[in-house]
């Protein structure tokens, strides 16, 4: 029976880039946050004498061969497991295909989860434990395979609020934020991630950023992220409950202070890609300005480019504030999506859809 899996989008709550490395990648420090928005990936797998993969999608822009991240992930997983099987993967695109939301990377992890369920592997649905040393063999292998498929694939094996360092593939769960309203704008302009990194290199050269200075900056920022999220746990108890989600408790009088405000990151968080992407696509800077709504009563808590774009997002205290941002975008001729951030427990508990018949 096919297994249908939700494949959620992510945003980056800031992204800092270092100088280019010898391996062709860049060191970075970012906080990934999963969103409620999702594609649906359906997997059917039957053990067979030889492996054969087939991939289909409702969206013709999705590659249906070994270029597809879901295909790569399933092929690598079968090899690592020493299993041969006939596998069919169907990707029902609901998310915009514009970059920045990690949709293709999430599809890869959803295909893996579907494959595991189909093969009857006894893997638990949930984030691996914090310490790599305590991971079991398969948990380590799937993190390694995910990193081979792409730098922002492993984050989807954790979900919720996730610190990403090294080239973005080294991930660690952070205390989750309670859900906040999010507006995602998906402008039609395309941004090439490798090109954005090359533009960053040119900027580094102009500004004389050395690899050592770049690494020092990243170390400092990843420490700042980790301590901001650790400090955001309210006094008088962790308040994380069984879900691990930061919460002030339902009985607190007055308006609930957003956990995002308590992290303190709103005062300093930034996405380095904006420096190179906005100068090439000024329309994206304008969309950020509209999302921010500065000076209005419905102003965003935070608005910025996600990854290298072209998707942008705004986070809002209330649904009304988010709706107001959507209206502002609409008045400028820009469609958008309304969603919420998705904590880790909900990410895992809602991952499997009712089995398809
Ligand atoms: O890992 P992924 O396949 O997503 O990376 C695509 C490209 O983006 C890489 O080939 C590299 O050019 C660039 N990249 C980078 N530094 C990173 C992640 C990606 O330079 N940390």
**Among the ranges given (37-41, 63-67, 93-97, 290-294), the one the predictor scored with the smallest mean pLDDT:** 93-97
220 Cα: distance to centroid of ligand 1 (angstroms): 22
Rounded to 5 degrees, φ, ψ at 46 are: -130, 130
149 Cα: distance to centroid of ligand 1 (angstroms): 11
What tokens appear for 273 in the block?
């890609």
User: Which residues contact residue 317 at a Cβ distance below 8 angstroms, ignoring those fewer than 6 apart?
Assistant: 180, 181, 258, 301
What pLDDT was estimated at residue 173? 94
Indicate whether 254 pLDDT > 50: no
152 Cα nearest atom in ligand 1 = 4
Tell me the CA distances in angstroms from 317 to 13, 92, 223, 242, 297, one per residue in order.
16, 31, 26, 24, 11
Indicate whether 93 pLDDT > 60: yes
What pLDDT was estimated at residue 222? 93
What pLDDT was estimated at residue 238? 42
Tell me how far apart the alpha carbons of residues 307 and 168 are, in angstroms, rounded to a whole number. Answer: 11
30 Cα: distance to centroid of ligand 1 (angstroms): 14
**Among the ranges given (94-98, 121-125, 162-166, 318-322), the one the predictor scored with the smallest mean pLDDT:** 121-125
151 Cα: distance to centroid of ligand 1 (angstroms): 7
Strand partners, 55: 89
What pLDDT was estimated at residue 136? 75
Identify the residues whose C-beta falls under 6 Å from ligand 1.
Answer: 24-26, 28, 150-151, 167-168, 193-194, 197
Tell me how far apart the alpha carbons of residues 271 and 32 are, in angstroms, rounded to a whole number. Answer: 12
Mean pLDDT of 272-286: 96
In this prediction the pTM is: 0.91
344 Cα: distance to centroid of ligand 1 (angstroms): 25
The best mutation among 12, 26, 28, 67 to test binding of ligand 1, ranked by most ligand atoms within 8 Å of the C-beta, falls on 26
331-342 burial, b if ≥16 CB within 10 A, otherwise e?
eeebebbbbbbb
Per-residue pLDDT of 176-201, as tens digits, reads 988 999 999 999 999 999 999 999 99
Strand partners, 28: 17
What pLDDT was estimated at residue 85? 97
Indicate whether 83 pLDDT > 80: yes
152 Cα: distance to centroid of ligand 1 (angstroms): 9
The number of angstroms, rounded, from the C-alpha of 345 to the middle of its chain's C-alpha atoms is 15
Tell me how far apart the alpha carbons of residues 266 and 284 are, in angstroms, rounded to a whole number. Answer: 20
Mean pLDDT of 70-90: 97
Query: Residue 128's closest CA among 136, 119, 118?
Result: 136
More confident of the two residues 231 and 102: 102
Residue with the nearest Cα to atom 2 of ligand 1? 150
17 Cα nearest atom in ligand 1 = 21
Residue with the nearest Cα to atom 10 of ligand 1? 194
Rounded to 5 degrees, φ, ψ at 227 are: -75, -35
Assign 97 a pLDDT band (cuts: 50, 70, 90). confident
Assign 46 a pLDDT band (cuts: 50, 70, 90). very high
More confident of the two residues 207 and 6: 6
Per-residue pLDDT of 120-172, as tens digits, reads 886 666 766 656 566 678 888 999 999 999 999 999 999 999 999 999 999 99
Residue with the nearest Cα to atom 20 of ligand 1? 25
Count of beta carbons in the 10 Å neighbourhood of residue 42: 20
What pLDDT was estimated at residue 232? 75
What pLDDT was estimated at residue 242? 41
Indicate whether 278 pLDDT > 90: yes
What pLDDT was estimated at residue 134? 65
Output the CA torsion 169→171→177→180 (10° steps).
10
The best mutation among 193, 202, 276 to test binding of ligand 1, ranked by most ligand atoms within 8 Å of the C-beta, falls on 193
Annotated active-site positions, please? 10, 152
Residue with the nearest Cα to atom 21 of ligand 1? 167
**Among the ranges given (2-16, 99-113, 202-216), the one the predictor scored with the smallest mean pLDDT:** 202-216
Indicate whether 312 pLDDT > 80: yes
Residue with the nearest Cα to atom 13 of ligand 1? 194
Mean pLDDT of 57-79: 96
What pLDDT was estimated at residue 343? 95
The best mutation among 19, 194, 276, 308 to test binding of ligand 1, ranked by most ligand atoms within 8 Å of the C-beta, falls on 194
What pLDDT was estimated at residue 84? 96
3-class DSSP string for the chain: CCEEEEEEEEEEEEEEEEEECCCCCEEEEEEEEEEEEEEEEEEEEEECCCCEEEEEECCCCCCCCCCCHHHHHHHHHHHHHCCCEEEEEEEECCCCCCCCCCHHHHHHHHHHHHHHHHCCCCCCCCCCCCCHHHCCHHHHHHHHHHHHHCCCCHHHHCCCEEEEECCCCEEEECCECCCCEEEEECCCCCCCHHHHHHHHHHHHHHHCCCHHHHHHHHHHHHHHHHHHHHHCCCCCCCCCCCCCECCCCCCCCCCCCCHHHHHCHHHCCCECHHHHHHHHCHHHHHHHHHHHCCCCCCCCCEEEECCCCCCEEEEECCHHHHHHHHHHHHHCCCCEEEEEECCHHHHHHCCECCCCC
Indicate whether 94 pLDDT > 60: yes
Query: Residue 89's closest CA among 26, 147, 4?
Result: 4
Which domains are assigned to the chain? Answer: 3-175+344-354 (3.30.230.10), 181-253+273-340 (3.30.70.890)
Residue with the nearest Cα to atom 8 of ligand 1? 194
User: Which residues contact residue 325 at a Cβ distance below 8 angstroms, ignoring those fewer than 6 apart?
Assistant: 183, 290, 291, 293, 298, 300, 314, 316, 336
Per-residue pLDDT of 196-240, as tens digits, reads 999 999 999 898 888 899 999 999 999 999 999 887 766 554 444
What pLDDT was estimated at residue 252? 41
What pLDDT was estimated at residue 248? 36
Is beta strand 302-305 parallel, antiparallel or unpaired with respect to 312-316? antiparallel
Indicate whether 106 pLDDT > 50: yes
């Amino acid at each position: 029976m096919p297994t249908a899996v939700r494949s959620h989008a992510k945003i980056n709550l800031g992204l800092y880039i270092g100088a280019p490395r010898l391996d062709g990648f860049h060191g970075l420090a970012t906080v990934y946050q999963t969103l409620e928005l999702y594609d649906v990936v359906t997997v059917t797998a039957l053990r067979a004498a030889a492996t054969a993969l087939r991939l289909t999608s409702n969206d013709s822009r999705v590659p249906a061969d070994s270029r597809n991240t879901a295909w790569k992930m399933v092929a690598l997983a079968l090899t690592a497991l020493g299993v041969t099987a006939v596998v069919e993967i169907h990707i029902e695109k609901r998310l915009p295909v514009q970059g920045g939301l990690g949709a293709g990377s999430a599809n890869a992890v959803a295909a893996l989860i579907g494959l595991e369920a189909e093969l009857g592997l006894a893997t638990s649905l949930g984030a691996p434990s914090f310490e790599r040393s305590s991971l079991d063999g398969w948990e380590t292998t799937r993190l390694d395979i995910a990193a081979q498929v792409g730098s922002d694939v492993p984050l989807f094996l954790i979900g919720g609020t996730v610190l990403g360092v090294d080239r973005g593939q080294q991930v660690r769960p952070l205390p989750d934020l309670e859900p906040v309203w999010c507006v995602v704008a998906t402008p039609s302009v395309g941004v090439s991630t490798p090109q954005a990194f090359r533009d960053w290199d040119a900027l580094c050269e102009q500004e004389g950023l050395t690899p050592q200075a770049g690494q020092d900056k990243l170390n400092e920022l990843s420490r700042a992220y980790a301590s901001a999220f650790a400090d955001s746990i309210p006094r008088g108890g962790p308040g994380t409950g069984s879900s691990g989600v930061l919460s002030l408790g339902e009985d607190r009088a007055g308006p609930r202070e957003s956990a995002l405000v308590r992290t303190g990151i709103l005062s300093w968080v930034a996405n380095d890609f904006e420096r190179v992407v906005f100068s090439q696509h000024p329309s994206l800077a304008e969309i950020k300005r509209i999302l921010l709504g500065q000076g209005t009563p419905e102003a965003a808590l935070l608005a910025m480019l996600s990854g290298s774009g072209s998707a942008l997002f705004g986070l809002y205290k209330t649904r009304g504030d988010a709706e107001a941002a959507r209206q502002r975008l609409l008045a400028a001729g820009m469609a958008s999506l309304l969603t919420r951030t998705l904590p880790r427990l909900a990410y895992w508990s809602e991952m499997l859809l009712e089995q398809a018949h």
